[in-house]
Chain A
Amino acid sequence: MYELIGVTKQYRRGQQRVDALAGIDLTLAQGDRLVIQGPTGGGKSTLLQMLGGLDRPTSGRVLLDGTDLAALSERRLTAVRGQTIGFVFQSFNLIPTLTAQENVETALVPLGVKAAERRIRAAEALESVGLGERLGHLPSELSGGQQQRVAIARALVKRPKVLLADEPTGNLDESMRDEIVDLLEGLCDEHGLTFVMVTHDSAVARRAPRLATIRKGRITIKENRRTTADRVEA
């Protein structure tokens, strides 16, 4: 599914050069689940943006199903994002003026889905995250957990192959956190998605079968055997 080969990303911050990613090699198969941890400014979000085609590496290749995202035109890259990749953000990033249903519909607009079908699919997606009764609510009328559910519905409504989540529980309390992680894991399993999540939360990280840590732009990956064993037992 994903193959990252020697990916680097450098920024200039004033006169200083910052190596956000310093030669990342990473392989992810379809349905893999990876949690990324690391200190602030270590390069977690940058790596997620490379995977999501939101940014381009300074060097190296980001292959998604054999296509190098770094070499695609802006137009093609936008199309890949629209069709293949779902995003969930820490701050939910919902459009404040649109209802929950309309927010979910925004993910179907780039695919050219007709309005009537958009409405049906958005309603189904919201139903699947337990917000079937909140279709007409504005984000401001929903709790943080509910807003993140809307964001998850928006990410999944287009039936992507990949789900990328950047601190999805960062703005939620503990009970809500578990609920959202359960929901994400459940949906990814159900749809067979490749799931990459950035988190600071060790409790969330412990649940992942693979844990990547990024420090100073370099990645180390550990298999989480206990979780894998738990899952096998289950």
Chain B
Amino acid sequence: MFFTYLRRELRRRRKAALVVASGLALGIALVIVVNSVSSGMSRAQGKVLESLYGLGTDLTVTKAQERPEAGAQPQRPRFEFQGKEDGKEQSSDRLMVQGFQTLADSTVGTVAKQRGVDKAVGGLSLVNLKINGEFKRGEIQRGEGGQTQRGGPGGGTGGPGDTVTGGGAAFDVDSFTIYGTDVTAPDLGPLTTSTVSTGRTFTTTETDAEVAVVDSAYAQEKDLSVGDELTVKGVKFAIIGIATADSGQSAAQVYLPLKQAQTLSGSAAKITTIYVKATDSTRIDAVKTAIQKNVSGTTVTTSADLAQTVSGSLDTAADLAANVGKWLSYAVLLAAVLVAGLLTSAAVGRRVREFGTLKALGWRSGRVTRQVVGEALVNGVIGGALGIAIGLAGAYAVTAASPTLTAELGASGGGFGGGRGGGMVFGGGPGGARTAVGKTVDIALTAPVSVTTVGLAVLLALGGGLVAGAFGAWRASRLRPADALRRVE
């Protein structure tokens, strides 16, 4: 009788049932979409961080910022050109450490010994800046006698009233970033976020080999391929592989064995960053504290620290999803449950005579209540199913549309990764270089729906149905048959 009665009631009151179910469906769909978009945001943020860190890296160690001594000139690249004959090409090739801050590579061992550290590997981030061009001498126009004489670098003397016309300089600036990678530890560090699409990566024995792996974007720009040669500060490196960044930008445009990078840049036994993997990813803060305490003069950055520096549309969207979206969806769901409850209660009000009659026939309050709760629960289940379907469709639509979000990684991230373009190096000074580490990454947003989210939706649907049923059940259970029959006679 329970199911027959239930089925008939739902069919008869299908409009009311549909309103209740639709309200719940809307709330549940919103919860699913917002939850899945939220987890998509987290995943996107994770990818952004991975693109800087490398897979499996829990924290990085860099040299702490030092206050420049009084009167000291900040470090900046300096180029000197000699006076040469007119039209003679001059070039200068500078290989600089990114951020001008280095640590002794022995620090890697010290960090590795810290409690909670599983693995530590050092790397050296460099910027190669090549300036190539020529000067053109100006023409001296004699004030008197109308003679023309060529001026030149360091040469020529002009009389009073002489003027110099023409002349100038045309120089090309070319720069690219280099990362000196520890080839003996291939599973940690920035290169792990790239996949070698052509050729091969370094072998663990190529510690001092003149071989290079080039980022695919840079290779395309410079028309480089496996087997070609790349000259860095006069040393020719054989390109053994082309690497493509898994997401966002690559950490560097050219990867060299660490020892080669150190030699070329004159930074023997120096590194810029230590990539650390913790033994337990839940105790990263403890590892950070241990390193900061025991390895002086370093800055330790965790992915959580770095996540705080993420800004741009990704951050805005993540904030929206985490705050407004989540609360909005829960508010809608709450409103839906309340409306469902009130509608169920109102339905009981309309069915006073029906329930009064059943009680007069000997139906216990519990049986009548069960009937009411059963109907509300079925409404909840229908709403849940509808909500899950709409939610899944919404999440699928977000994934299919894949809106692109931009993540900007802030300056305070602390000295890892590498920005593109030599221009940033001209910022000059340690502070400027550090700012230049900021990086922009485009990430396509997805909305993955986890089993937990669907489980949550099912629970919300059943909970919503039960709460709605409770409203009506409370009213039905308090119904006295005499009152019920008297009220309608």
Binding site for B on A (CB under 8 A): 45, 49, 52, 54-55, 74-75, 78-79, 81-83, 87, 89-91, 93, 95-98, 102, 105-107, 109-111, 115, 118, 154, 166
Contact = CB atoms under 8 A, between A and B. Distances in A.
A93 B362 contact: no
B360 interface: yes
Contacts of B354: 93, 95-96
A82 B489 CA distance: 22
Given A109-B363, A110-B361, A110-B364, A95 B5 contact: yes
B9 interface: yes
Interface stretch (B48-56, B189-197, B382-390, B480-488): B480-488
Contacts of A105: 1
B205 interface: no
B9 A75 contact: no
Which residue, B357, B361, B481, B488, has most C-beta atoms of chain A within 10 A?
A: B361
Given A81-B362, A107-B361, A110-B364, A89 B12 contact: no
Contact of B362 (A89, A97, A98, A110): A110
A103 to B, nearest CB: 10
Nearest to B486: A45
Contacts of A91: 353, 488-489
B367 interface: yes
Contact of A98 (B5, B353, B481): B5
A82 B368 CA distance: 14
A54 B482 contact: yes
A234 B356 CA distance: 40
Contacts of A79: 362
Contacts of B482: 49, 54-55
Given A75-B364, A95-B354, A107-B361, A90 B11 contact: no
Residue of B12, B363, B365, B488 with highest tally of chain A CB at under 10 A: B363
B8 interface: yes
Contacts of B364: 75, 78, 110
A81 B8 contact: no
Contacts of B217: none
Interface residues of B, number: 27
Nearest to B481: A54
Contact of B9 (A55, A87, A97, A154): A97
Given A89-B485, A96-B12, A97-B9, A52 B1 contact: no
A162 to B, nearest CB: 13
16 contacts: A55-B480, A78-B359, A81-B361, A87-B361, A93-B356, A93-B357, A93-B485, A95-B357, A96-B12, A97-B11, A102-B5, A102-B8, A106-B358, A107-B362, A109-B1, A110-B362
A166 B367 CA distance: 25
Contact of A106 (B1, B365, B481): B1
A98 B357 contact: no
A206 B84 CA distance: 139
Interface of B: 1, 4-5, 8-9, 11-12, 353-354, 356-365, 367, 480-482, 485-486, 488-489
A82 B361 contact: yes
A69 to B, nearest CB: 12
Nearest to A55: B482
Contacts of A166: 489
B363 A54 contact: no
A54 B485 contact: yes
Given A55-B482, A97-B8, A81 B1 contact: no
Nearest to A98: B8
Contacts of A82: 361-363
Nearest to A97: B8
A97 B481 CA distance: 20
Contacts of B8: 97-98, 102
A45 B489 contact: yes
Contacts of A81: 360-362
A92 to B, nearest CB: 9
B354, B360, B364 pick with most chain A CB within 10 angstroms: B360
Contacts of B4: 98, 102
Given A54-B482, A89-B357, A109-B367, A115 B362 contact: no
A55 B486 CA distance: 11
A107 B11 CA distance: 23
B164 to A, nearest CB: 105
Given A49-B482, A90-B489, A96-B12, A54 B1 contact: no
A89 B486 CA distance: 11
A75 B363 CA distance: 10
A81 B363 CA distance: 9
A94 to B, nearest CB: 8
B367 to A, nearest CB: 7
Contacts of B488: 91
A174 B363 CA distance: 33
Given A98-B4, A106-B1, A109-B1, A52 B489 contact: no
A140 to B, nearest CB: 10
A148 to B, nearest CB: 14
A87 B484 CA distance: 14
A93 B357 CA distance: 7
A38 B366 CA distance: 36
A74 B5 CA distance: 24
Nearest to B482: A55
Contacts of A111: 362
Contact of A102 (B1, B11, B367, B485): B1
A40 B227 CA distance: 109
A54 to B, nearest CB: 4
Contacts of B367: 109-110
Given A45-B489, A91-B488, A102-B4, A52 B361 contact: no
Contacts of B486: 45, 49
Contact of B353 (A75, A87, A93): A93
Given A91-B353, A91-B489, A54 B11 contact: no
B12 to A, nearest CB: 5
A83 B363 CA distance: 11
Contacts of B358: 95, 106
A102 B2 CA distance: 11
A115 B4 CA distance: 11
Given A107-B362, A118-B1, 13 more contacts: A49-B485, A54-B482, A74-B365, A78-B363, A81-B362, A89-B357, A93-B354, A93-B356, A93-B485, A96-B12, A102-B1, A106-B363, A110-B363
